[in-house]
Structure 1
Amino acid sequence: MTPLPAAPSTVPGPDGNPSFGRFAGAVTRFDWSVLAAPYARSRWWRRFRHKRWHYSALATEQLFCGIAIVDVGWTNTAFAYVFDRTRRAVVAGFSRDGVPGLTARLAAHAGGASSFRFGERRIAMSASALSLRCKGLEIDADLGAPNAPLLLAVGPVRGGAVHATQKSSGLALSGSVRIGTQTYALDGGVASFDYSNGLLARETAWRWASAHSLALGFNLQAGYFGAHENALWLDGQLIGLGAATFDFNDNDPMAPWHVFTDDGLLDLYFTPEGYRREDKNLLVAASRYVQPIGTFSGWVRARVDAPRRAVSRLAGVTEDHASRW
C-alpha cells in the first residue's frame, strides 16, 4: 500500500495548475478563476457551470439522515430527510429550491461553513457541526474530528473543465433529531461529509456508494468523474481504489446492488432498507435522483496480498443520479 501524497494547500496552485490526482489532507481554498490553460474558462462560462455541494450523512442503528446544500451557479437548492430504519420509511424532511444569490451560502472549502435559509427552513453545516430547523423537524449534530485523512480528488471533466471533491472518513456523532414531539438520540452514531466543487458539464450523471464506521469506510463513484474519488478508509489509513462497477436494477430501487473495484480491494453487496427519490423538471434544467438507504456486506482489504476484512451490515447509501444543469 502506497500512501497518498499530501494535499496541496490550494486548488489550483499559484501557477494555475489544477494538480490532478488523489491526495490526503484538506485544502484551504478552491478558486477556478485562476485556472491556467487549457482549463481556464471565462467568467460568464463559470457562472453557469460552477457547481458546489455540501452533504452530510448521519447514521445510527435507528436513523439515517441525509442533508445537502447545492449551488449550481444560476440557482440553489437544499434537501434533508430522516429515514427510520426500523419502520423502513422516510419520516421527515423537505426539499426546497432557493433564490439565486440569496438563500444559499456554500463554503469555499471543506473546512468552512455552508448555510441555507428560506423562510422557516434553515440549515447550517460545517465539518464539525450541523443544525437544521424546519416545521416539525430539528437536527442538532456534533461531528468529531476525523481519525483518518480527508480524501482530496482533483480531475478533468469531459464537457466541463475541472472538478474537485473532499470526502471524510467516519466521524463520531452526537446530538439529537426531533420530529414533532419525539426526540431521537444521535449519540454513538457515525457521520461523514462530502464537499464538492467544480466546473461541470451541462449533462452530468453518476452512480455513488458510501458507508462508514469509525474504523472502516469507503467512497465509490462511477460516471462523470471516473475513478478519481474512489477510496477506502481502513484503521486510520486512506487507500486509493480502482474503478468501480455498480451492478443493480435501475427499475427497482429495492433490489440488491453489487459494487466492486477492479483492483481486487473491495467487493460488497448492498441490501436496501428503503429509499428517497426526487425527480425535477424545471424546463431549463432537470434531475433524476434515487438514493437507497441500507447496509453493505462483503469484504475489503488494504492491498491484494492482504487478508480480507469482513464487512457486515455497514449502514450507508447508494445513488443513481442524472442532472441537466
Structure 2
Amino acid sequence: MYKRDILPSRPSPVEEGNPIFGTWTKAFDDVNLLSIKHPFSTHLPKFIKKYRIKEWQSFQIQNDTYYLTVVVSNVRYFRIAQVFVWNKESKEKLLFRKVLPFGAWKLPRSLSNAAFTSRSYGFYIRIHNWLDADLIELDLDVEPTKKRPSFTAHLELDFARQKTTPMVTHLPFSERRSMYSFKAMTSVRGDLVFGGQHLSFSPERTAGLFFDYKGFFPYRMRHLWCNGFSYHEDKQLFGFSIAEGQTRDTFRYNENALWFKGELTPLPPVKITMPEGPESDWVIQDLEGMVDLTFTPQETIRFGFNYFVAHSEYIAPFGVYNGMLVTRDGIQIPVRNLWGTGEKLYLRV
C-alpha cells in the first residue's frame, strides 16, 4: 500500500531561503516563494522573478442540481476571473469570463485571515480566507446582459462542520523552483440568485472543494486535474483531487488526495490518458492499485488565446466518474456516477 510522509506543521515552506518540499495537513502562516534564494540558474532582479510566479484560487461547489466553479488567477501578464454555473438537470448554464491585462491582483500569502476583492464593469468578487475561524467566504455579483442572466451568490465553506483534513504540498520542479498548493473539502451553505431564481444551499446536501496555488511554473506549463466529490451514502463528505503535472519525484511529492469520512488519504502518482480526446472518456490509473477511474464528460468549457508573448489552451469538461478508489487503510470505495470535473491546461507565458 502506498504511503507518503505527512510532515509536522511549519510556518512557511521556505526556510532561510531554501525550499522545504513535502506534504502537510495544516496551512502555512505565510507562502512567499520570492524568499527562495536563486530559483533560477542566473541572477534575476526581484521584479522579474515575481513575473515568473503564477497563482490562483478556485472553488468547485455542487448540490444535487447545481454545479458552480469559480476561479481567479494571476499569471502576471494578465488576470482571469471565471464563473460557471450549470444546472445538471435542465442543462441551463451561465458562463462569465473577464480577462484583464497585467497582474495587478494580489492574492493573499496567508489563508489565516486575509481577503481578496475585485470590482470591474459588470462583475464583483470577494474571497475572505479565514481559516482561523474555520471559514472561507465567497461573494459574487455578475450583472445581466442580453445573452446572460444575472447571478449573485454568498457562500460559506464551513471547515468546522465535518472537520475534514486538508492537504498542503510544496513540490519541486527543480532543486530550487517549486509550486505550492492547499486543497480542502468542506460542506457549503449559502444562497444563489440565478436568472431570477433564489436558491438556498444547505450544508447537509452541498459540498465544495477549495484550491490555493502558487508556483514558479514552467514557461510551457502543462497540467491535468481530475476532481470529484459529493456526500457518501452515510452522509459523510467524500471526494478526491488528482493531478498530473511537471513536478519531479512524484512518488514522494505530489498533490493527489482522497477524502473519506473526514480523513485524508495521500494518493500515489497517476497517469491520465484521453484515448479519443478530452471530450471523450478520460482514464485515471496508478501503479499501486489505489486509483482506477473513468471520467465521462457531459458539458465542456473551452478557452484559449494567442497573443504576442502568451498562448493558452484550457479545456474543462463537467461529467461523471466511475471506478474504484482505495483508502490508506485498504477500504475499497466504489465510485458510481460521481459528478466532477476534468481540466487540461497548456499555458505558455
* TM-score with structure 2 setting the length: 0.84
1:148 to partner: Cα distance: 2.1
Residue in 2 that maps onto 1:129? 137
Task: Look up the equivalent residue of 2:166 and give its one-letter code.
Answer: L
Distance in 1, matches of 2:45 and 2:218, equals 15
Residue in 2 that maps onto 1:202? 219
Report whether the alignment pairs 1:283 with 2:308. yes
Deviations 1:287-312 (A, max 9, x none): 11111112222221124x72412222
Distance in 1, matches of 2:10 and 2:81, equals 30
Residue segments in structure 2 that go unaligned for 5+ positions in a row? 130-135, 144-149, 231-235
Deviations 1:31-52 (A, max 9, x none): 1232134668541331321111
Residue in 2 that maps onto 1:312? 336
- Matched residue SS, 1:73: coil
Distance in 2, matches of 1:251 and 1:257, equals 8
Distance in 1, matches of 2:89 and 2:309, equals 39
Q: 1:159 to 1:323 in 2, by over 3 A?
A: farther
Q: Which sits farther off after the overlay, 232-241 or 61-70?
A: 232-241
For residues 1-325 of structure 1, the aligned pairs below 5 Å read 4-13=6-15, 15-37=16-38, 42-89=45-92, 91-102=93-104, 104-111=105-112, 112-127=114-129, 128-135=136-143, 136-145=150-159, 147-157=163-173, 161-169=177-185, 171-187=186-202, 188-213=205-230, 214-225=236-247, 227=250, 228-249=254-275, 251-253=277-279, 255-303=280-328, 306-325=330-349
Q: 1:316 to 1:41 in 2, by over 3 A?
A: farther
Deviations 1:221-280 (A, max 9, x none): 112236411121222222221111112246351x22221222211212222221211112
Task: Look up the equivalent residue of 2:213 and give its one-letter code.
Answer: S
Distance in 1, matches of 2:9 and 2:312, equals 32
1:106 to partner: Cα distance: 1.0
How many pairs were matched up? 319
- Which runs of structure 1 show a deviation greater than 6 angstroms over 4 or more consecutive aligned residues? none
- Matched residue SS, 1:29: coil
Q: 1:291 to 1:52 in 2, by over 3 A?
A: same
Q: 1:165 to 1:119 in 2, by over 3 A?
A: same
Aligned residues with identical type, % of pairs:
20
8 Å contact from structure 1 (residues 4, 238) kept in 2: no
Task: Look up the equivalent residue of 2:327 and give its one-letter code.
Answer: A
Q: 1:310 to 1:53 in 2, by over 3 A?
A: same
- Matched residue SS, 2:47: helix
1:158 to partner: Cα distance: 5.1
8 Å contact from structure 2 (residues 207, 237) kept in 1: no
Distance in 1, matches of 2:276 and 2:224, equals 11
8 Å contact from structure 1 (residues 65, 82) kept in 2: yes
Residue segments in structure 1 that go unaligned for 5+ positions in a row? none
Q: 1:230 to 1:23 in 2, by over 3 A?
A: same
8 Å contact from structure 2 (residues 34, 50) kept in 1: no
Task: Look up the equivalent residue of 2:255 and give its one-letter code.
Answer: E
8 Å contact from structure 1 (residues 241, 263) kept in 2: no
Q: 1:2 to 1:258 in 2, by over 3 A?
A: closer
Distance in 1, matches of 2:64 and 2:34, equals 44
- Matched residue SS, 2:309: coil
8 Å contact from structure 2 (residues 6, 22) kept in 1: no
1:100 to partner: Cα distance: 3.1
Distance in 2, matches of 1:7 and 1:18, equals 15
Q: Which sits farther off after the overlay, 65-74 or 150-159?
A: 150-159
Deviations 1:146-202 (A, max 9, x none): 622221111222598211111112x11111222231223322211111100111221
Distance in 2, matches of 1:85 and 1:120, equals 26
